[in-house]
Structure 1
């Protein structure tokens, strides 16, 4: 994925690479002389992200706290889908606040889902495209409310999203704890799969557990459609907390679990430049995309 995720030439330059220089230099040696199995595994993951879809898939990205990590993971997943797939991808940001997807893409929204809900449902992609913000080839951005305010309700969300999402192969929906409970539950109920993002800490895992309890109460098949991404914290983890045990419990319930290390590029810059992400970030996010797409089917 390190070589294949493209970025627009007009994107703001990022000064920080996810991997330090010695690791990047070593990567070229690995590419030249590394095991063939590593290459085959990457190819197989890319093929899994490209799997055919009969009807558009809606993937909700949520978390126990409205941290920047959720916005970063939603943006990265959108970029992965847009790169590998030949159909359209919509990144929909219904989380209230600072519009993390727009910041991560370096894009400025034109309209919002609220604006689309005020009109008759669009009958073609050509009719709705002028309302969307193009991020790159096959990827568009749309906020839930104008200016990131909480102005979207359940009625408007369902009225606009369901007709809109049929024009896209994948719709990645960034949700968040700041939303009204009814709207947040509606986002989860209407999604084909769910990605929960949290810090790899006691509080993060407990928060994920609470969301899972709510999802299972509404639909006991939720674990089979859920992937958890645990992000390494900025400070060291609590040595007394049994994180491997917690991960095993989640996996035992049928939930997919991935661990994402800290990336210097994501931490130091706002606009994502895929060419500067750490190799481990590329690999993990592509694996998450393949797994969540599989579970959405």
Structure 2
């Protein structure tokens, strides 16, 4: 598997697959016991940044400009991070069924959808909307955009009408978007977001895809989108494009005011569909928490 966020499809590999091999996990234990205080302090500060208080709920859109990277994994990881650190509710909203929906990453099955919320009266309390939601774990709920995998039943108008009444009951709403959405619905997702996470391969084509996504956001009238965007470049096969100037591409993105993170390969994410946070690689934990802190800061 080339990418950390790529999904195999089909059944899961054995649950014992860890993101880090055994020697690295053992080394991590030694670092935790004897490691420098600054490393601990940095982790605590990052966690505190994810916990920062917010006055109104934040909506964060996760975009995947290409099908080669499973943006659903990043949306799931961010949702799990917010639910772990924060004390308010978190909603993972999957408006792009695609091939790796959030339900499969969470290992749950949702029975209702955002289309159901749009068809009824706007909810006036969380108790009214909770029966429509799928509980994932403490403080985290899932809601697909539509009841099926074909995406029928949700358009831009229904999305706008249901999103605002629903998201006000949550501290953070993570919305999984994607290149396969109808243009109007995709633009509505972008317009309704306070901040954006763009996930792409760490390749020439991946960076070009990021540029196209940003151009689309700006063309829709959102000139501030670069300052509210975090890009996550996912490691691919080593040496796949030796002529690609990765350092130059990173400098170019950062020069536009965009936050940029690199996410390495993770055996657990590559080998399984259902994410078990306890088995993720240490580097994955660290990067996802930093992305969560940064995108929340930019959303404010």
| Counterpart secondary structure, 1:46 | helix
1:277 to partner: Cα distance: 0.2
Contact 1:58 1:170 in 2 (8 A): yes
1:174 maps to which residue?
A: 176
- Match for 1:206 among 189, 205, 208? 208
Contact 1:96 1:176 in 2 (8 A): no
Task: Specify whether residues 161 and 67 from structure 1 end up closer, same or farther in structure 2 by C-alpha distance, changes over 3 A only.
Answer: farther
| Counterpart secondary structure, 2:148 | helix
- Match for 1:245 among 245, 248, 260? 248
For 1:98 and 1:230, the matched residues in 2 are separated by 20
Counterpart check, 1:281 vs 2:277: no
| Counterpart secondary structure, 1:53 | coil
* 1:111-126 equivalences in 2 (<5 Å): 111-126=112-127
1:235 to partner: Cα distance: 5.2
| Counterpart secondary structure, 2:74 | helix
Counterpart check, 1:222 vs 2:222: no
Unaligned runs of 5+ in 1: 1-11
* Structure 1 residues 184-206: Cα deviation after superposition (integer angstroms, max 9, x where no partner): 01100110000000000011000
For 1:99 and 1:92, the matched residues in 2 are separated by 13
Contact 2:68 2:201 in 1 (8 A): no
- Match for 1:164 among 159, 163, 166? 166
Task: Specify whether residues 122 and 296 from structure 1 end up closer, same or farther in structure 2 by C-alpha distance, changes over 3 A only.
Answer: same
For 2:68 and 2:38, the matched residues in 1 are separated by 36
For 1:134 and 1:282, the matched residues in 2 are separated by 22
Q: TM-score, normalised by structure 1?
A: 0.94
2:8 maps to which residue?
A: none
1:222 to partner: Cα distance: 0.6
Contact 2:69 2:199 in 1 (8 A): no
1:149 to partner: Cα distance: 2.0
1:187 maps to which residue?
A: 189
- Match for 1:231 among 234, 257, 265? 234
1:96 to partner: Cα distance: 2.9
For 1:255 and 1:224, the matched residues in 2 are separated by 6
Q: TM-score, normalised by structure 2?
A: 0.93
Contact 1:99 1:148 in 2 (8 A): no
Contact 1:69 1:231 in 2 (8 A): no
1:65 to partner: Cα distance: 1.2
1:66 to partner: Cα distance: 3.1
Contact 1:99 1:143 in 2 (8 A): no
Contact 1:96 1:179 in 2 (8 A): no
* Structure 1 residues 146-169: Cα deviation after superposition (integer angstroms, max 9, x where no partner): 113222101110111110000000
2:28 maps to which residue?
A: 27
CA RMSD of aligned residues (A): 1.2
Counterpart check, 1:37 vs 2:23: no
- Match for 1:197 among 196, 199, 214? 199
For 1:224 and 1:68, the matched residues in 2 are separated by 23
2:6 maps to which residue?
A: none
* Structure 1 residues 196-237: Cα deviation after superposition (integer angstroms, max 9, x where no partner): 000000110001001111112221111000000000014533
Q: Which runs of 4+ in 1 moved over 4 A?
A: none
2:295 maps to which residue?
A: 292
Farther-moved stretch of structure 1 (218-227 vs 284-293): 218-227
* Structure 1 residues 245-286: Cα deviation after superposition (integer angstroms, max 9, x where no partner): 001000000000000001000000000000000000000000
For 1:278 and 1:113, the matched residues in 2 are separated by 33
1:100 to partner: Cα distance: 2.0
Contact 2:229 2:259 in 1 (8 A): yes
Counterpart check, 1:128 vs 2:129: yes
Aligned length: 286
